[in-house]
Each structure stands twice: as structure tokens, then as C-alpha cells.
Structure 1
Amino acid sequence: MNNLNKKLKIFSILTTIGMIIVLLQGALVTKTESGQGCGDSWPLCHGQVIPESINTLETIIELSHRAVSAILGIMVITLAIWTWKKLPHVRETKFLAIIAVLFIVFQGLLGAAAVVWGQSSAVLALHFGFSLVSFASVLLLTILVFEEDNGPRVRHPKISPNLKTFIYFVFTYLYIVVYTGALVRHTGSSLACDGWPLCNGQIIPPLKGAIAVQFGHRVAAGIMFLILLALVIYVYRNYKDEIALRVTALIAFILVSLQVISGAYVVFTAMSLVSAMLHAFIITCLFGAVSYLVMLATRAK
């Protein structure tokens, strides 16, 4: 492995980690209601590059989020160009590079629009979804870099058309679940259900307002758990030779299990900062794992 490839590996890892930090910072901004920490100006903060007086925690959180996001935007664009030039022979490279850049730009523009003009909770929920797509594309580019050391076996798994379709369904449904979770946060519905797994002591509570939003997310997340359980059982029974597929499916199931547990933890701790950040971190990792399953499916013979 030459020095250039080593540098690309290190840079891709740093960019992936940085994207996770940006996602967690976004969750922190939402949790602490720091979205207006810099007023209604963007990209400036209170009309200045660096405010003369930073005297609130909200300003510190929002300003640091903007600064890290800007740095990561440059890093993502750099990674996209670097992998495009270094791995032009890999089928997924150009597509992922374009997606990474497009969604990091969409993410920034949507965040700016929310600051300057304000957005509905439904639109704000999209911001987290865009962030996850950008993260997943960066993660997959990183995987492509490391896969250069492996043989063609990793690149062409034998997956049936039915399983491919199911994996695409899992990805689509997970994105919907992510959106419902982001909607819970942005509508302030995280604690609408007192207790877990029951909602206010009921199996099915009155589906109105914040309770409907929270309960709907719980149901969607529960179905996601069952879907990934079915996937991992099917893969382990029928794809004993496809190591990458088996390991990734198992990781996805472990992560969705942890996500369910962390959701309960959010309720039991009245949405403490730790529980909220943990919940966001696990769903980020889960989305990355399922995205890799999709890449494997697209390579199938």
C-alpha cells in the first residue's frame, strides 16, 4: 500500500468520524434548543464572524456546530474529489461522491433556512434525514477505500432478487422510521408517553397530538426491530458463505435492539442529554449498516 493510499484511508476515517460528530452536534442543538443561539443571521453569528460577546450556552453550542459543519463540508468535498480520482474503476465511487457533496450542501442550506426564515417541524425533521444520507455516503466511500485491499469476492456477493428487494425495502422503511423519530424531537413529543413499553399505562393510547406522534414512532420502531430480526434469521439460514452480508445483517440487528433499549432509556431518564445523544448515535450507526447492505445488494450477481 503506497503512502497516498494510507493518507486517503486516514482522511476517510477522520471524515467519517467528523460526520458522526456533526450529527451528534445537531442532536445537541435540538435537545438544548440552541437553534437560535446565533440569532436569525447566517452564516454570521449575531451579524459577526465571531461575536464579541459569547455569554450564553446556546450561542456556544450553535456557533461550534456551524464551525464544525463548515470544516466537515470542506472535508467531504475533498474526500469526494480524492476518491473520484483514486478509485474511478470502482462502480459506486462517482455516485457516492456526488451524493455526499449534494446532501452535505442540502443539509447546510436547510439549516440556514431554518435559522433565517424558520421552518415547520416536518421540514426540520428532514434535516436529520439529509445528514444521515450524507454520513452514509461518506461511510461507504471509506469502505470502498479499504476494500481495495480485498478481492472481488467482497464486491460480488450472491444474493437472490427477492432478498435484494427486501433489503431495499428495509432501507426505505428505516428512513421513514428515522423521519418519525426526528419529528418526535422537533415537535417536542419525546415525553408524550409516560412509561415504556406502555404509553400512559395503555397499550394503545388516544391518538391525538404529541401522543400520536410519539406512539406512531414507537410502533414504527417496533416493526423495524421485527423486520431486521427476520432479515438476520433468513440470511444466517441461507447465506452461510456470504460473510460480509451475514456480519452486516447481524450488526444491524444488534444496533436496532440497542436503539429500542435507548428509546426506553430516553423515557425513563426524561430525555436526559446522555440518553438523547446515545439515541442519535445508535440510529446513525444503524443507518450506516443498512446502507452497506444496500451496497452489497446492488453488487449482487
Structure 2
Amino acid sequence: MLHARAFKVSVTWTLALLYLGSVVHATESSLACPDWPTCFGTMVPEMTGGVFWEHLHRLVAGGLLLMWGLATWFARKETADRPWIFKACIAGIVLLLVQSAFGGLTVIYRLPDLVSTTHLALALSFLALATVLASATAHVGNSEPPSGQEDGTRRWATAAAGLVFAQSVLGALVRHMDAGLACLDFPLCLGRVVPPLVNAPITVHFAHRALGMIVAVVVLAFAVRAYRIGSPERIRRWATLAAALVVAQVALGVASVFTVLAVLPVSLHTLVAASLLAVLVHVATLAHTTKARRPEARARRDRLSTLR
């Protein structure tokens, strides 16, 4: 189905856009174009220096809006029996438009912390929505039958995804408040387990570290649980990927501090966080859709028993 493929492309596109947005900020290119939606009064500026990154970010964002519009059109034609999909697509268009407007406000008002952080929060919200649609509409061949453990898996994955979302938004606040180097040591912060919370940058930075440890514990516990209770193989695979991503995320956070916010580790830190969110949302959606097939699976077993 074309709509399912378009949803998958949109998820990948969004991840690339989030990475590119992080590069824009890390290279201090956010205000390379002083106006919006044009750049120095034109849609085709000279692509040099910071203008290259900022305007490329805008162009890729515009491409995502067109891609999602195409996905919405496909969904309307191909999913008439599931109207919630088209409604979710419309919600996605609204999210993208509002998120784009916040991007414009970020430039016009010269990077206010709250506006810039909301800009990222909306992008992550769209990523989660696109992932739900991509997962719910994907054709899974030779699906394993419902195991009866779907509710627990969905709750764990949803809780972990919520924590990752909150941690990512807090990380955006750290970045936009220029608090990334408020603590230059690790694992201690200013030489202490709990530093003196004497100003906003130190407080926000320490909160980001503390919540990061909680997220890591929850995601790793989720992965261990998937194996301990004998979850279906595909759930175990995704849980393993989530565990690997959270370990990589912690390592990139440490690297960001020790490299004094170098472009590559900081940008990968954002990308891995977004990827972890998408993986957890995917697992939660898989568990939900598998549970929805339970009556169908039970009826199929009953028919086979009758035939025997």
C-alpha cells in the first residue's frame, strides 16, 4: 500500500530533519538567515556558510510537508475502512504547520528559549504520530499470534517513550539556555553528586542528567523484561535495539561534554534520542495492534479445532 510506504518515508525524513536541525544549532547557523520564510529576501540565497545549513533545514522541512501531504492523499484513497488514519494524517498536517510557524518565530524573535524548545517538542510529537501510523499500517508477514502479554508491553513501551520525550524536551531547554557546559565533569557535576543549584543553567543541566539516568534504567529494564517473559521475537529485537540506543545516547551525552559541544556528538545525541523515541512508540503500537488481532486469532484456532 502506498500510504504505508509514505508513512515510513516520513518517519525517516523526520529523523533526518531533526538531525539537520541539531547541526544548524550546533554550528550556530540558526540566525544565518535573518528573515523568514525567505532568506535575505529570497528563496534561493547563496548557499554558503551558515546559510547553507539553515536554508537546507528549511527546504527539507518543506519537503516533509509535501511528503506528508502525499501520504495523507494516499491514506484517504486507501483506508476508507479505517477513518482514524485519515484523521491522524490531518492532525499531522496541523502539527507540521504549527511547528513550522514556531520555526519562523524562533528566527523572528532571535531564539527565545521557550519558543525554540517548543519547536523541537512539536517535531518530536509529529515523529511519534508518524511512527504510530507507519507501524499500524505496516504489513507484517507471518505474524506471531497474540501472546496475552501485549498490555504489559504496551504500558512499558508507552511509559518509556513518555520519559524519552520529556528528557528530549529538557535536553532542548539545556541547549537553548546554553547550559550544555554548566557541568564540565562526569559523572559528577561540579565535583559533586548533587551540585549547588545556584542558577538556572546548573539546575537544568543537572535535571537533564538525573532524568537521563532514570530513562536509561527504565529502557534497560524494559528490554530485560521482554526476554524474561518470553515476548515475541520481533518485540525482543526492537527492545534490544532500544537498549543499544539508550546506551549510545548516554555515551554521546558524555562525549558532548568532554568535546565541549562538538557538532558531531551533539547532533548525534539528538538523532539517537529521536530514534529511541520512534523505536519505543513502534513497540507500543505493535503491542496494541497485536492485541487487537487476538479475537481473530482465537476464532482461527477454534475453526481449526472444529475441522480436526
Return the structure number with greater relative CO, CA threshold 8 A, min gap 6.
2
Deviation track 1:19-53 (CA, whole Å, cap 9, x = no partner) reads 222111111121122222111x22111222224xx
Q: Compared with structure 1, are the counterparts of its residues 55 and 241 closer, same or farther at alpha carbon in structure 2 (3 Å cutoff)?
A: closer
Residue matched to 1:289: 279
Q: Summarize the alignment of residues 32-111 of structure 1 with structure 2, pairs less than 5 Å apart.
A: 32-39=27-34, 41-51=35-45, 54=46, 57-89=49-81, 93-111=85-103
Residue matched to 1:27: 22
Counterpart of 1:158, as a letter, is G
Q: Tell me if the contact between 2:157 and 2:281 (Cα under 8 Å) persists in the aligned partners.
A: no
Counterpart of 1:136, as a letter, is A
- Provide the rounded CA distance (Å) in 1 between the counterparts of 2:239 and 2:82: 23
With the length of structure 2 as denominator, give the TM-score of the two structures: 0.84
Deviation track 1:205-229 (CA, whole Å, cap 9, x = no partner) reads 1113211111110000100001112
- Could you list the runs of 4 or more consecutive aligned residues of structure 1 that deviate by over 6 angstroms after TM superposition? none
2:122 corresponds, among 120, 130, 133, to 130
- Provide the rounded CA distance (Å) in 1 between the counterparts of 2:126 and 2:277: 11
Unaligned runs of 5+ in 1: none
Counterpart of 1:217, as a letter, is H
Residue matched to 1:242: 232
Residue matched to 2:162: 172
Q: Confirm whether residue 255 of structure 1 aligns to residue 218 of structure 2.
A: no
Q: Confirm whether residue 210 of structure 1 aligns to residue 167 of structure 2.
A: no
- Provide the rounded CA distance (Å) in 1 between the counterparts of 2:213 and 2:91: 30
The alignment's C-alpha RMSD in Å is: 2.5
More displaced, 165-174 or 212-221? 165-174
Q: Confirm whether residue 17 of structure 1 aligns to residue 9 of structure 2.
A: no
Q: Tell me if the contact between 1:184 and 1:213 (Cα under 8 Å) persists in the aligned partners.
A: yes
Residue matched to 1:226: 217
Q: Tell me if the contact between 1:158 and 1:242 (Cα under 8 Å) persists in the aligned partners.
A: no
1:292 Cα offset (Å): 0.9
**Aligned residue pairs: how many?**
290
Unaligned runs of 5+ in 2: 293-308
Counterpart of 2:29, as a letter, is S
Counterpart of 1:205, as a letter, is P
Q: Confirm whether residue 142 of structure 1 aligns to residue 137 of structure 2.
A: no
Counterpart of 2:181, as a letter, is L
With the length of structure 1 as denominator, give the TM-score of the two structures: 0.86
Deviation track 1:156-193 (CA, whole Å, cap 9, x = no partner) reads 56335455433332222221111111111111111111
Counterpart of 1:17, as a letter, is T
More displaced, 199-208 or 185-194? 199-208
